Chain A
Amino acid sequence: MNKSLSGYRILVVEDEMMNLAMLEDILVDAGCQSVAVAATIDQAMALIDGRVFDAAMLDIKLKGKNSYAVADALAARGVPFVFATGNSVRDIGERYENRPVLRKPFKAERLVEALTALLPRR
Chain B
Amino acid sequence: MPERTDKSNNQKDAESNVQGFQEKLGPFVVAAETTRMAMVFTDAREAGNPIIFANDSFLSLTGYAREEVLGQPFNFMMAHAADAIALAQIETEFEGSSKVASEIRYRRKNGSAFWSALFVSPVRDENGHIVQYFASLVDLTTHKEEETQARRLIDELNHRVKNTLSTVQSIVRQALRFYTDPKDIRDAIESRLLALSRSHDLLARENWKSASLRDVIDDALEPFNVTDGRARRVVIKGEDIRLSPQTALALGIGFNELATNAVKYGAFSNEAGSVLVEWKTVSSPEKSRLRLHWQEKNGPPVLRPSRKGFGSRMIEQGLARELEGSVDIDYRSKGVVCTIIIPMPQSDFNE
* Chain A CB within 8 A of B141 CB: no
Measured between C-beta atoms, what is the minimum distance from B321 to chain A in Å? 4
Measured between C-beta atoms, what is the minimum distance from B138 to chain A in Å? 30
Question: Are the CB atoms of B158 and A63 closer together than 8 Å?
Answer: no
Most chain A CB within 10 A, of B162, B171, B174, is at: B162
Question: Are the CB atoms of B165 and A39 closer together than 8 Å?
Answer: no
Contact flag A86-B158 (CB < 8 Å), given A16-B163, A19-B166, A21-B174: yes
Q: Beta-carbon contacts of B102-138 to A below 8 Å, as 1s and 0s?
A: 0000000000000000000000000000000000000
Q: Within 8 Å CB of A104, what residues of B?
A: 162-163, 165-166
Question: Are the CB atoms of B155 and A22 closer together than 8 Å?
Answer: no
Contact flag A61-B159 (CB < 8 Å), given A17-B253, A86-B166, A104-B166: yes
* Chain A CB within 8 A of B19 CB: no
* Chain B CB within 8 A of A79 CB: no
Bound-complex Cα distance A82 to B188 (A): 31
Query: Given A20, A43, A88, A89, which contacts B318 in the complex, CB threshold below 8 Å?
Result: A20
A62 to chain B: closest residue by CB:
B246
* Chain A CB within 8 A of B191 CB: no
A105 to chain B: closest residue by CB:
B166
Question: Are the CB atoms of A18 and B324 closer together than 8 Å?
Answer: no
Measured between C-beta atoms, what is the minimum distance from A63 to chain B in Å? 6
* Chain B CB within 8 A of A9 CB: no
Most chain B CB within 10 A, of A17, A21, A88, is at: A17
Measured between C-beta atoms, what is the minimum distance from A27 to chain B in Å? 13
Q: What is the size category of the interface that chain A forms with chain B?
A: 20 to 34
Measured between C-beta atoms, what is the minimum distance from B152 to chain A in Å? 12
Measured between C-beta atoms, what is the minimum distance from A70 to chain B in Å? 15
Measured between C-beta atoms, what is the minimum distance from B200 to chain A in Å? 14
A61 to chain B: closest residue by CB:
B159
* Chain B CB within 8 A of A40 CB: yes
Number of B interface residues at 8 Å Cβ cutoff, please give it. 29
- Beta-carbon contacts under 8 Å, B166-220 to A: 166-171, 173-174, 177
Question: Are the CB atoms of B171 and A17 closer together than 8 Å?
Answer: no
Measured between C-beta atoms, what is the minimum distance from B245 to chain A in Å? 9
Question: Are the CB atoms of B174 and A25 closer together than 8 Å?
Answer: yes
Query: Given A19, A25, A43, A89, which contacts B163 in the complex, CB threshold below 8 Å?
Result: A19
Question: Are the CB atoms of B174 and A22 closer together than 8 Å?
Answer: yes
Measured between C-beta atoms, what is the minimum distance from A115 to chain B in Å? 17
B165 to chain A: closest residue by CB:
A105
Query: Given A18, A86, A106, which contacts B159 in the complex, CB threshold below 8 Å?
Result: A86
Contact flag A15-B314 (CB < 8 Å), given A22-B174, A86-B163, A87-B159: no
Q: Within 8 Å CB of B161, what residues of A?
A: 86
Q: A18-B171, A104-B162, A105-B168 are in contact. List 16 more A-B contacts (CB 8 A).
A: A15-B322, A18-B167, A19-B163, A20-B318, A21-B313, A22-B170, A22-B173, A22-B174, A25-B174, A40-B324, A43-B321, A86-B160, A86-B162, A103-B162, A105-B162, A105-B165
- Give the 7 A-B residue pairs with the shortest CB-CB distance, closest first: A17-B318, A22-B170, A86-B162, A105-B166, A17-B322, A86-B159, A104-B166
Q: Can you spell out 7 A-B residue pairs with CB atoms less than 8 angstroms apart?
A: A18-B171, A18-B318, A20-B321, A21-B314, A39-B321, A86-B160, A105-B169
